[in-house]
Every structure is written in structure tokens, then in C-alpha cells.
Amino acid sequence: MKDQLLLRKPITVNRLTLRNRIVMPPMATGKAEQGRPSEEQIAHYAARAGGTALIIVEHAYVSPEGMAHDTQLSMADDSLVPAYRELTGAVHARGAEVFAQLNHAGARAQGSGLPALSPSGISVWEQSPVSGSMTAEEIGVLKDRFVSAALRAKEAGFDGVEIHCAHGYLLNQFYSPLTNHRADAYSGSTLEGRTRLQAEILQAVRAAVGGEYPLAIRFGAYDYRSGGSRVEEIPAACRAFQAAGADLLDISGGLNGYTVAGFTAPGWFAGLSSLARASVDIPVLLTGGVTTAEEAEALLQSRAADLIGVGRAMLKTPDWAVQALR
């Protein structure tokens, strides 16, 4: 019976084989030291790598003005690579694969002292006043920063990278009609415009890291707000990201963040991930409210996703994956 469980079954992302379907999703610890992973963070991830197939490390900013908070990890400087090698080495020593998550906070940025960037000069975070709409030059620089960060992650031993387009951060601000009022090629009035920047970043990163390096995107697929992104747009958006080079879709919330008010059943975003999974032929990851192996297996069996992220339960119990696989 154990051999028939999907939770235990390996899965391939691009050419990387994951030993099972258990993922530790990115969760900010706020323990970085001037952008570097601290010894405490390295130990934190190593402790949760036993049994886990994939660890996605908490978000790292690609550019100083995109810092979400002053204890966030950075991937914006070459000098950080040796410290990240310690982290990836510690995770690999316990048999797990590890991705870096790359982010720009946009209108949610704080702590850098630099003007916050946004698609249309709309604030989504009271503590972060924003400047005007991003210029074409600023958008070009942003794409270059994501590419540089991805190359650093690859050099540091990460097995792949995830582009963060969820939870109200900059790329999610471009996706949401509530925060994207642009009228240019990145227009907030069309789905093509709202997915253009993410697709261009995926394409640029893919060209830089090569065709066999796993590339994921965390997609805030629905805002859960009137006038925001819509559920029926999910299939087309996911297909656009796959066409641009994504090997894995990590489905989560949009401007609402990583939880959904009133949702208590395991797999808070299962309705969204099911739509995504039916629309593409790359693996889909679902996170939210899963605390037991039985819950994870049920979501896999229902075809809600191909991989299950276990967040708070893994924070509470570092060897959660080892126990679940028993």
C-alpha cells in the first residue's frame, strides 16, 4: 500500500528528480544578517531537509530598493555567494533539493530608504510610500536584476530558482488590475499586459541559466477582492508562464496574501491549483493549511496538485517529512 501513495512517488521538474512530493515552501524567518543567510537560518533549513523533497528558501531581494524588510535575504550582490553555498550544502547533505526564491517587493518595500517602485504609483502597504509609475528604463533594469540574481543562485549551488509573483509584491502588483493601471505594453486592462513582465523575466532568466535549470514561478492567481484578478483568468495566465519557460507553478494568493479568510480545510488554494493543473503539463505545487500526511495524500489523489507544500506544520515539527513518510 505504501508504494501506491502519491506522496512517496518521485517527480521530475525539468530534469531534476525530486524524491517525493513534499515541499517546504518559502516562509520568511527574518534572520538574515545584512542580506546573508545567518548560521541560524542555515541550521533552520538543514533541520527540515530530512525526508523533504524540495526546500524553497524564503524570498531574497534582487535589488536594494526591492527589500521587503531589513532582515530579509539578499541575492543582489556577488559577495553573498559563498554564504549561500553553505546553506545549499547543508540542505543537500540531508538529501533534499533546494530552490532560491527571487523577489522585488515593489510598493511593499521598506527598510532600504530608497523610493519604492510600483506599476502605477499605487500603494499597497501603508509603511511604503511609492513614487510614480515605473518607466521603461526601470523595467529594463528590473529584468536585468532578476537575471543577475538567478545566476548568483545557480553559482551558489541552488538546484533551481522561483520567481515571486504573489502576495502583493511587485510582479503581483503588475498582475492585479487593482494596482496596475498602465496603458502601455504592460497594460492593466488586458491579461496579456498583466502577464507580460513576468513572462519577459522568465524568458530572460531561462536564456541566462540554460534550458536544463529548473525555473518556477509563485503565482498569486487570485486577489479575492472585488475588481482584482479573476479565477477564470488562471488557465491562460498559467499557459503564458509555461510558454515563457516555467517548469513549475507554485499557486498561492494575490493581494490577499498567503491565507484566505474563512478557509479552514487543508489546501486553501486547491480550487485555484486544480484549474492551473488542468491547464498546463508542468507540475503544480499547492500550499496552505496541510498538517498531516493524510491531508497531503488526499489533495494529490484529488488532482489538486502534483506537489504539496507544508508550511506551519514543518516549522513546528522539523522532521515532519520523515514522520509523514513512515
CATH number at residue 110: 3.20.20.70
d(CA 160, CA 22): 16
The alpha-helical segments, DSSP class H, found in 136-211 are 136-155, 170-175, 191-209
DSSP 182: -
Active site residues: 169
Q: Phi and psi of 102, rounded to 5°? A: -105, 135
Q: What is the pLDDT of residue 116?
A: 84
Spatial CB neighbours of 316, under 8 Å, sequence gap ≥ 6: none
Q: How many domains does the chain divide into?
A: 1
Residues of the chain with pLDDT under 50: 1
Q: What is the pLDDT of residue 14?
A: 98
Q: What is the pLDDT of residue 124?
A: 76
Q: Which of 134, 143, 234, 230 is nearest to 184 (CA)?
A: 134
Please give the full DSSP string across 249-270, using - where no structure is assigned: EEEE-STT-S--TT--SS-TTH
Cα-based angle 94, 98, 104 (whole degrees, multiple of 5): 150
Domain holding 186, by residue range, is 2-325
Contact by Cβ (8 Å): 158, 100: yes
Cα-based angle 105, 30, 40 (whole degrees, multiple of 5): 140
Please give the full DSSP string across 289-325, using - where no structure is assigned: S--SHHHHHHHHHTTS-SEEE--HHHHH-TTHHHHHH
C-alpha cell belonging to residue 279: 491547464
